[in-house]
């Protein structure tokens, strides 16, 4: 979220966005940054389809929205990581999702079954938020890692934001957890509470009221602009955002974190 807010603050435009989006992508849509979508899931979870998405698509601001299953977009990135132009899969076959994707169906020359060919996805820039990284970019993730492994290997530039920057000696104590090695990473940004108002596994829980505030305000274009002004444009950076949120809410989020015991 901290990187997503900074992208808005810097006024980037005409982005082609790939991946999966919840609040962070909804903010980009409301801010008018997005031109094209190559997307798996986009929504506000229990709150449903975001009004900002609907406005952006219906107004023509988003020129095209190409759909993929979670598995297929992951395997598209995996194809890139493998250096091959496509991977065959059975994901999306027999669904309208395949119709709205850019996949192609062929007959497998070995068995004769139908397979969907998923084109490689080469990203210019990827943004990934992790729990821990060292200054070189070695990253460790706890909890669900999504398609971070594949994405980190399918992009030309990789920007990491990390809850904690820790010594390399600490990273080396648990090498099996380093799922993104340093040589893939171009920049490391220290961003405590970088996923706020979303959660970070085992570190802090989500601020449901904070998310509901966006849901309510983004029901109108004017409300969405007010939200962006308050939480993005009126603060100079992530530190300013955290000051705006205040210690009380941040401590509450830590208290509500998912626990292992």
Residues 26 and 11: their CA atoms lie apart, in Å, by 15
Q: Is 258 in the site for another protein (CB under 8 A)?
A: yes
Binding range to another protein, per CB under 8 A, among 47-55, 178-186, 220-228, 245-253: 178-186
Residues facing residue 114 across a β-bridge: 107
Dist. CA 228–CA 217, nearest whole Å: 10
Structure token pair of residue 74: 């992951």
- In the complex with another protein, which residue's Cβ is closer, 2 or 52? 2
Of the two residues 155 and 217, which places its CB atom closer to another protein in the complex?
A: 155
Instruction: Kindly tell me which of 201 and 215 has the beta carbon lying closer to another protein.
Output: 201
Least spacing, CB of residue 222 vs another protein, in Å: 25
**Interface of this chain with another protein, residues 197 to 256, rule: CB under 8 A:** 198-201, 205-206, 237-238
Measured from the CB atom, the residue of 114 and 220 that comes closer to another protein is 114
Q: ∠ CA(171), CA(76), CA(185), 5° rounding? A: 30
Nearest approach in angstroms of CB 55 to another protein is: 19
Q: Strand, coil or helix: what is 130?
A: strand
> By C-alpha distance, which of 13, 33, 61, 28 is closest to 214?
28
Beta bridge partners of 217: none
Site for another protein in 127-166 (CB under 8 A): 127-130, 135-137, 141, 143-148, 151, 155-157, 159, 165
Which residues in 70-129 contact another protein (CB under 8 A)? 80, 83-85, 98-107, 109, 114, 119-129
Q: Which residue has the tokens 């008018």?
A: 32
Looking up tokens 């609907």, which residue turns up? 54
Least CB distance to another protein at residue 110 (A): 13
Q: Nearer to another protein by C-beta: 209 or 220?
A: 209
Contact 240, 232 (CB under 8 A): no
The gap between the terminal CA atoms of the chain, to the nearest Å, is 28
Q: How many CB atoms lie within 10 A of CB 139?
A: 27
- By C-beta, is 220 or 254 nearer to another protein? 254
Per-residue x/- mask for another protein, residues 20 to 49, rule CB under 8 A? xxxxxx--x-------x-x------x----
């Amino acid at each position: 979220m901290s990187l997503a807010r900074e992208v808005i603050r810097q006024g980037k435009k005409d982005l082609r966005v790939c991946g999966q989006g919840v609040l962070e992508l909804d903010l980009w849509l409301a801010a008018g940054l997005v031109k094209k979508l190559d997307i798996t899931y986009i929504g506000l979870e229990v709150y449903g389809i975001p009004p900002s998405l609907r406005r952006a698509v219906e107004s023509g601001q988003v020129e095209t929205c190409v759909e993929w299953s979670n598995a297929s977009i992951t395997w598209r990135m995996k194809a890139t990581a493998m250096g091959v132009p496509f991977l065959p899969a059975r994901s999306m076959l027999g669904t309208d999702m395949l119709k709205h994707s850019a996949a192609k169906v062929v007959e497998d020359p070995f068995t004769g079954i139908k397979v969907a060919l998923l084109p490689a996805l080469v990203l210019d820039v990827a943004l990934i938020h992790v729990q821990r990284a060292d200054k070189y970019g070695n990253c460790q993730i706890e909890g669900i890692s999504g398609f971070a492994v594949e994405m980190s290997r399918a992009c030309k530039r990789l920007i990491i934001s990390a809850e904690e920057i820790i010594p390399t000696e600490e990273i080396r104590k648990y090498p099996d957890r380093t799922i993104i090695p340093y040589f893939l990473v171009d920049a490391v940004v220290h961003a405590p509470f970088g996923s706020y108002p979303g959660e970070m596994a085992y570190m802090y829980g989500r601020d449901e009221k904070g998310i509901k505030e966006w849901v309510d305000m983004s029901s109108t274009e004017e409300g969405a602009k007010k939200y962006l002004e308050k939480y993005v444009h009126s603060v100079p950076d992530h530190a300013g955002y955290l000051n705006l949120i205040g210690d009380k809410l941040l401590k509450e989020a830590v208290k509500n974190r998912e626990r292992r015991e």
